[in-house]
Every structure is written in C-alpha cells, then in structure tokens.
Chains A and B, each alone.
Chain A
Amino acid sequence: MTHRGEEPADQGIQPTTQDQDTRFRTTLLRVLLVQVVTLLLLWILQATYHA
C-alpha cells in the first residue's frame, strides 16, 4: 500500500495498478448488474401499474 502522506506535497495520484483495474472492473460490473436488475423491477412496476 502506498502511504501518500509520506510523499512530498504537490504530487498527483500514482496510476492504478493492473490488479486494481481488474478489481475495479469486476466490482463495477457487479454493482451495475444489481442496479440494472433493481431499475428493471421498478420499470416493470411502472409499466404494469402506471396509468
């Protein structure tokens, strides 16, 4: 783990590693999937009952 606090000021974030990118993509996909299902259910509710 990079301890940003120990670095001198005025430096930006280091680029993310390959590992972090993969983990990010997996998490993003999982969260998006759950949200799509949630929104789909809300859509069905609206489509079925909304006049």
Chain B
Amino acid sequence: MHPINWLIVVAYLAYVVIDGIRRAKGTDKIEGYFLANRSLPWWAVGLSVMATQLSAVTMIGTTGQGATDGLRFVQFYFGLPLAMVILGVTLVPFLRGAGVYTAYEYLERRFDARTRTLTALLFLLSRGMSCGVIIAAPAVVFSALFGWPLIWCVALIGIPTVAYTMLGGIQAVTWADVKQMILIVFALLAMIVVLIVQMPVSPGEALQIAGATGRLKVFDFSFNINETYTFWSGLIGGTFLMLSYFGTDQSQVQRYLAAKSVGAARSSLLMSAYWKIPLQALVLLVGVMVFVYYQFQAPPLLFNPAHENAVVAERGAEYEALQDRYGEALELREGAARRAAGLAGEGPAEASTTAASDPVQDAAARAMDEFLAGEASVQAIRAEALAMAEEVTGEPSRDVNYIIPRFVLSELPIGLSGLFIAAVIAAAMSSISSELNSLSTASVIDFYRRWFRPEASDAHYLAVSKAATAFWGVFACFVALYAVSLGSLIEVVNRFGSFFYGSILGVFLLAMVPRARGIGAFLGLIAGMGVVAAVTFGAPDVSFLWHNVIGACTVLAVGVVLGVSSASRPSP
C-alpha cells in the first residue's frame, strides 16, 4: 500500500486514541464512566447505536456479499424500523425510569436475582466471544492482504480500542463512534462515486448488467422458514431479532441509557429506524457495483492472496493453465458485457426466452444471453480455483471477504484506499469499544457490585471497571487468535447466541405481563433455550431468524402459565 495510505491509517489511529484519552478527564465517577451522567445528545447516541451495529464484517463481508449475491440481504433488516418504534414506546421509558445501569439489573427488580444473574452471564459469555470474532474477521483479512502475522493485526485493532475504551469510558466510546460512523459513510459514498467515474459504462447500463445476473433482486415474498433472506423472515423473524438485540443486549441498551432524556433515547433509536435500511442498501450496492466493475477489468482468479500464493507454490503449472483459461473466459465475458450494455437501452434485459420480433430487441437479448453464458463459464473456472485452494491449504476457500479489500488496494486511487482501510478499522473499533464498555458494565454492576462488594466508593468501582474493560479486551484478543485456528468457533459463537437471544427477549416481554412471577421467568428462560436448542439440532434447516420467535414465545407461554398457576394457588 502507498505510504500516503498508511499515513491516513496511522493518523486515524492516533487521533482516536488521543481523543479518547482527552475525554477520560470528565469520567471520575462510575455513572460518568458507564452512562456519561445520562447527558448525551440524541444524535450522538443514534450514531453510536448505528456504529456499534456496523462492524468490520459489514464493511468487508456484506459488501462482498453484495458482489456475489446482490441486494437480497437487505430483507434481513425489514423488521428493524418496527422493532425500534416498539422499543421506543415500551422498553426505553421503562429502563430509563428504573434508573438502572444494565438491562439485567431491572430484571431483579421485576423478578428475582437468579433471572438477572443468568441473563447477565449469558450476555457476558456470548458478547465476550463475539467480541473476539469481531476482531478476528478484519484481522484475518489484513493478515492475508499485507502478509503480517495475525497477532500484529489483532494488536493493531485491539490495543488502541482497549486503550481508549478503558481510559475514556462511554464518553470516549460514543464520541469515537460518531466520528467513526461519519468516516464509514464517507468512505462508502466515495467508493460509489469512484466506481461510477471509473466504470466504462453509464450507471444505467451498469444496473442493467447487475440486474441481468439477478443481483438487483431485493424482494422474495415466498414464505419459507428455512430461508433467511425473504420478506417474511426479515419482517417477522427480523423484528424479534432486532427487539432482542436493541432491547436486551447491554451493548445497545447502554447507548440509550446514556442519553439525556427519554425523548433523546427514543430519537436515537428512531435514527436507526429511518436510516438502517437505506444504509444497508448502500453497503450492498457498493458490492454490486464492484461486481459490475470487474466485468470490464480483469479480477484476480483467487481474491485471497495468501491462498493464491500457496496454490502457486504447490501447484504452479496447474494454476497457470487455469489462469490462461480464466483470461480467455474473461475476455469473452467482457466483450459480451460491452455489447449487452451498449444494447441495454434498445431492448429487454431478459434473455432469449422473450419472443423478440424486433431485430434490435433480438440483438439485445442475444447479447445478454452471451453475457450470461460468459459469466457462467467465468464462475465455473473460479469454482475450480477455489476447490484447488481448499485442497492445498486445507481451509475453506470461500473468498467473499477478500473481494472488496482486493478491489480497494488495487483499483482505488491513492488516499481513498487508506481511507477505506481506516474505515474498516473504525467499523471494527466502534463495535468492539461498545461491547467492551458494556461487558465491563455488566461484570461490575451485575456481578461485582451485586455479589461481592455492594458498598464501595465510586473510585473503587471505577478502578474495577477499568480493570474489567482491560480484562475483556485481552480476553477478546485471545479469542480472536483462537477463532482463526479453530475455524468452527465462529459458528459455535453464533449458534450459542441464537440459543438464548429470543429467550431473553421473552423474559423482558414477560415483565410486561402483570401476573408474571420470578419462577415463571427463570424456568421460562431455561425452557426457551431448551426448545431453541431442540429446534437447532432437530430441525437444522429452520433459519436462525425464527429461533428468536420460538424462544420468545416459549418463555412467554411458560411464564404466563406458571404465573397464573402460582397466582391461583392458595397462600399457605
């Protein structure tokens, strides 16, 4: 990478750490450290909520998904606006009014200590591990791109984040999130502009090409609980997932607890309700545009440079022959793409299935047919190369996470590549810092202060909170290092999370049922997780989005039944 790009990355890292340390001055009390003395403006909290949810996985994984799979992933977020409105009316005033530090603290007031402790423990375990995965995802990509040892990449992301989160608390986290969010959106918009300028076809023609390959198919109205990306899975399952995430996950709840009023907290959530779907569509559109760009510029056969090097070293001759075939297929596809784009305005985008009587329309359909055939043969050769990489390295060779970083480093102008890499680091940091801050809060408030030292000075709790942030930071970095060597750990973390997310939501929903009791909440939580585990292993095809619905409904059912039966039982 060019030195100017590195300079941008280093300047960004230095700024974030220095700004974080500067903000540490105002946080000498525990309420200031964890909740900014409940003083943050709605727009800062709103941007922080969005930045926390937008991780490096979004910047490199979701954009890559846009390039390979198109826009349909946006359906995943269709339930988010509704969830935000529901939370704004129900849980936000509720938790704010309770004057709590954590969402789980409220559960003890409403139910009992064991429900609080179990939910807080589940949060600590899952978020602690997922924090490691969030560090691992960009670290692995950076390691492959720049040839650095993985531990350096983990340290590059982990150390500055832990430093400013530990020293500055939520003030530093939130204000860093604001700047990071601005940087991320700017980088995405800049990429779209550069892509449009550098593309040899007009934006309309580019969309025609993308549409012909199915990448602009947004809506799928089929009702299939085995499919994650459908309108109904997104709307129903997505609503429950977003209610769980934004309503019960401390990394999100803590954001709006730090807002200066209930109104500010609500407005901060509504910012996501308004902007999340357009932002996600933009992220995916970047990927789609990169796909179109590579119709006119030769893309690498393997996007992961580490795999490419390994294959060249071990099966060089075979790989070279494959590359020759790839080059020829790319040339044919490019010619067809140019013809199809040139004729796009003259006829239908559909292939020759449409009965075309007009010669111009007929030519357009034929050109599109040729383009699709070219695309199919390019993908077939890519599949052969990926299989070869899998044989050589023994690792899964799906290289969707490397498409955008390779594009950024080889195709973007100097300065913008550095900006994008800084934005990826910013996206990772914004998620990690919020999670570390919330992990520290739950550790101190729900465990240390609740069970070990209920009466201690603010200075003592503040010191313990900083130590807890450092502990979780180190823990996450270790998980990041192991997440790579134990590839399936990522899947384990995701599955573990889906076991209880909906069930915890069920407990909070149960809190709104007047007759519900502590025993119902606790046993309902366990039953909810059990049923979700049974569905996960018994019916593995059911999309994880529905696990949240199943878990929440089970907890509600068990909790209501036990609540009613304990209420009707005569007192001894």
> What is the minimal beta-carbon distance from B517 to any residue of chain A, in angstroms?
6
Q: Is the interface of A mostly helix, strand, loop or mixed?
A: helix
Residue A43 contacts which of B78, B94, B219, B270 (CB distance < 8 angstroms)?
Answer: B219
Are B216 and A27 in contact, with the CB atoms below 8 A?
no
Are B270 and A27 in contact, with the CB atoms below 8 A?
yes
Q: How far is the CA of A13 from the CA of B508 in the complex (A)?
A: 11
Q: How many A-B residue pairs have CB under 8 A?
A: 109
Interface residues on A, range: 20 to 34
Are A12 and B515 in contact, with the CB atoms below 8 A?
yes
Q: How far is the CA of A10 from the CA of B517 in the complex (A)?
A: 6
> What is the minimal beta-carbon distance from B346 to any residue of chain A, in angstroms?
15
Residues of B within 8 A of A31 (CB): 81-82, 84-85, 270, 273-274
Looking at B45-53, B207-215, B243-251, B527-535, the stretch in contact with chain A turns out to be B207-215
Are B85 and A49 in contact, with the CB atoms below 8 A?
no
Given contacts A5-B109, A49-B211, A13 and B511 within 8 Å (CB-CB): yes
CB interface residues, A 19-51, toward B, < 8 Å:
20, 24, 27-28, 31-32, 34-35, 38-39, 42-43, 45-46, 48-51
Chain A residue nearest to B105 (CB atoms) is A5
> Is B313 positioned at the interface, with any CB of A under 8 Å from its CB?
no
Q: Is the interface of B mostly helix, strand, loop or mixed?
A: helix
Residues of A within 8 A of B211 (CB): 46, 48-51
Interface string of B67-104 (1 = CB under 8 A from A): 00001001000100110110011100110111110000
Q: How far is the CA of A12 from the CA of B94 in the complex (A)?
A: 11
> What is the minimal beta-carbon distance from A30 to any residue of chain B, in angstroms?
9
Chain B residue nearest to A20 (CB atoms) is B89
Are A49 and B99 in contact, with the CB atoms below 8 A?
no
> Is B277 positioned at the interface, with any CB of A under 8 Å from its CB?
yes
Are B88 and A27 in contact, with the CB atoms below 8 A?
yes
Q: How far is the CA of A24 from the CA of B93 in the complex (A)?
A: 13
Q: How far is the CA of A21 from the CA of B207 in the complex (A)?
A: 43
> Is B516 positioned at the interface, with any CB of A under 8 Å from its CB?
yes
Q: How far is the CA of A5 from the CA of B110 in the complex (A)?
A: 9
Chain B residues near A (Cβ < 8 Å):
71, 74, 78, 81-82, 84-85, 88-90, 93-94, 96-100, 106, 109-112, 207-208, 210-214, 216-219, 262, 266, 270, 273-274, 277-278, 281, 349-351, 368, 511-518
Known: A12-B515, A43-B218, A50-B216. 14 other contacts (CB 8 A): A3-B97, A5-B109, A9-B110, A9-B111, A11-B110, A13-B511, A27-B85, A34-B81, A38-B278, A38-B281, A45-B207, A48-B207, A51-B212, A51-B213
Interchain residue pairs with CB less than 8 A apart (25): A4-B94, A5-B97, A5-B98, A12-B515, A13-B90, A13-B512, A13-B514, A16-B89, A31-B274, A32-B81, A34-B81, A35-B277, A38-B277, A38-B278, A42-B218, A43-B219, A45-B207, A46-B71, A46-B216, A48-B211, A49-B349, A50-B211, A50-B349, A51-B212, A51-B351
Chain A residues near B (Cβ < 8 Å):
1-5, 9-13, 16, 20, 24, 27-28, 31-32, 34-35, 38-39, 42-43, 45-46, 48-51
